[in-house]
Amino acid sequence: MNRVVITGMGWVTPMGHNIEGVWKRLLGGESGIARTTLFDAATFPTCISAQVKEDYRLEDFLGDLGPHAGAGRNTRFALGACAQAWKASGLDAAKLDMDRVGIYLGSGEGSLDFDAYSGAILSGWTAQSATMDMTRWAAVAFERMNAVRELEQEPNMPLSHLALLTGARGPALNCLTACAASTQAIGEAMEILRRGDADVMIGGGAHSMIHPLGVTGFIRLTALSTANEDPPRASRPFDAKRGGFVLGEGAGMVILETLQHAQKRGANILAEVVGYGSTADAFRITDQHPEGEGAIAAMTEALADAHLEPKDIGYINAHGTGTRENDGNETGAIKAVFGEHARKCAISSIKSMMGHLIAAAGAVELICCVLAIRDNILPPTMNLQNADPECDLDYVPNKARRAKVDVAMSNSFGFGGQNDTLIVRRFVG
């Protein structure tokens, strides 16, 4: 079985879109959460979000946009993050067998994608349409859809753009498993490399749901924070007064390679991916199992896959959404898996600063694990002011902490009961 390493990373986030700048802001406890401006949310119970700021320009990463000029919002995030990661890895398509370079992406619909699609369809329907020949009506609707620049309703459109950008002709796969999507994508990309079906895999995720439909859906689930009066402190993972998550958007990408391939080309190896666990709750569509059975199984599987014991984990980047159910269940699951070591292991949630990037969250959080190992410093869980007897572990409250970390775990638990865990460790040749 091939060993798998990370040689490049990139992200587009509500706190910026370069690795070092965003990492510095996270360690400083800054926030990317503010009033929503992508649409008029004034009448919504939740009118805050974590948006990618207006200074993000895809042209800064690609130069000439060419065939990507009409890409939808989440696709533009994916392209920017991928371009960063590819450049950081030092890969050169001219020197690669591109049939052995693949992509595994966790992505879904973007705000403009959905709006453009539905708008184009509905604009073709008039009072006369009921009596119109359906072939003619379909032709009118198709004409209108073709006139829309940012029409990308299919979830695999970002994947297709990434293949076009990089020239990757190997395995091309897409999953949309809600909040666990990019963790699953990276884990499955690792498995492709382990079994020798590719030399290089681009793994990660992209998502944008900050539009009326996306926000309304989460409001109806009572999952969103309504602390509109104080956006930077609205996301409060593990705090007794937590009231829901803050919806974010963005993308995170990593370049994965077999160790042999990376060493042969003299790549700078950032970390090694050593464990992956994936399970389903089979409980309810929107709720986690109250005893965290799926989360326990995913973490246990990842540890077994990595041939590690709980005591070997120095840091856990928690799913830590700030909902009452998730944080209590995740804490209980960590206790069940880690036993006494649960109280010695540092845990934090960057969602307290960045919001919840849905399909992109896991990839961005895995990058934080790699950076924590690189710099021996842990990002904090901000806004943790009120002790909750149910959440009584070490969540690195409110201030980054210096700590030697050799092995880190990243958890992602998605709607529908999808649980995915990755483990990365400091690379030792």
**DSSP state string for 220-264:** HTT-B---TT-GGGS--TT-TT---B-BBEEEEEEEEEEHHHHHH
pLDDT digit string, tens, across residues 191-224: 999 999 999 999 999 999 998 888 998 999 899 9
Judge contact between 336 and 296, C-beta under 8 A. Answer: yes
pLDDT digit string, tens, across residues 219-256: 998 999 999 999 999 999 999 999 999 999 999 999 99
Predicted confidence (pLDDT) at residue 363 exceeds the cutoff of 60: yes
Q: Verify that 80 and 167 share a domain, yes or no.
A: yes
Of 140 and 347, the one with more pLDDT: 347
Q: Verify that 243 and 132 share a domain, yes or no.
A: no
Q: Verify that 269 and 297 share a domain, yes or no.
A: yes
Pick the closest to residue 349 from 377, 298, 312, 383 (CA basis).
383
Cα radius of gyration rounded to whole Å, the chain: 21
Distance of CA 108 to the CA centre of its chain: 11
Q: Verify that 316 and 409 share a domain, yes or no.
A: yes
Measured distance CA(148)–CA(58) in Å, rounded: 19
Lowest-confidence pick of 110-124, 234-248, 267-281: 110-124
Active-site amino acid positions: 179, 319, 356
The two tokens of residue 153 are 């309703």
Cross-strand partners of 200: 101, 257
**Maximum mean pLDDT: which of 106-115, 129-138, 139-148:** 106-115
The two tokens of residue 218 are 């989460």
Q: Verify that 224 and 311 share a domain, yes or no.
A: yes
Q: Which of 94, 128, 146 is the last residue of a domain?
A: 146
The two tokens of residue 407 are 């092995």
pLDDT of 127 reads 47
Predicted confidence (pLDDT) at residue 146 exceeds the cutoff of 90: no
Q: Verify that 105 and 118 share a domain, yes or no.
A: no
Q: Verify that 123 and 157 share a domain, yes or no.
A: no
Pick the closest to residue 102 from 13, 239, 196 (CA basis).
196
Q: Verify that 373 and 420 share a domain, yes or no.
A: yes
Lowest-confidence pick of 71-75, 121-125, 238-242, 292-296: 121-125
pLDDT of 147 reads 47
Q: Which of 93, 125, 146 is the last residue of a domain?
A: 146
Pick the closest to residue 249 from 198, 179, 199, 296 (CA basis).
179
Pick the closest to residue 71 from 84, 86, 56 (CA basis).
56
Residue bearing tokens 């995740």 = 330
The domain tally of the chain equals 2
pLDDT of 148 reads 46
Quick one: which H or E segment has residue 203? strand 200-208
Reported confidence tier of residue 163, pLDDT bands at 50, 70, 90: very high
Distance of CA 242 to the CA centre of its chain: 22
Q: Verify that 120 and 106 share a domain, yes or no.
A: no
Question: Domain of 130?
Answer: 113-146
Q: Verify that 129 and 277 share a domain, yes or no.
A: no
> 311: domain CATH number?
3.40.47.10
The two beta strands, 4-12 and 34-35, are: unpaired
Q: Verify that 169 and 120 share a domain, yes or no.
A: no
Q: Verify that 20 and 137 share a domain, yes or no.
A: no
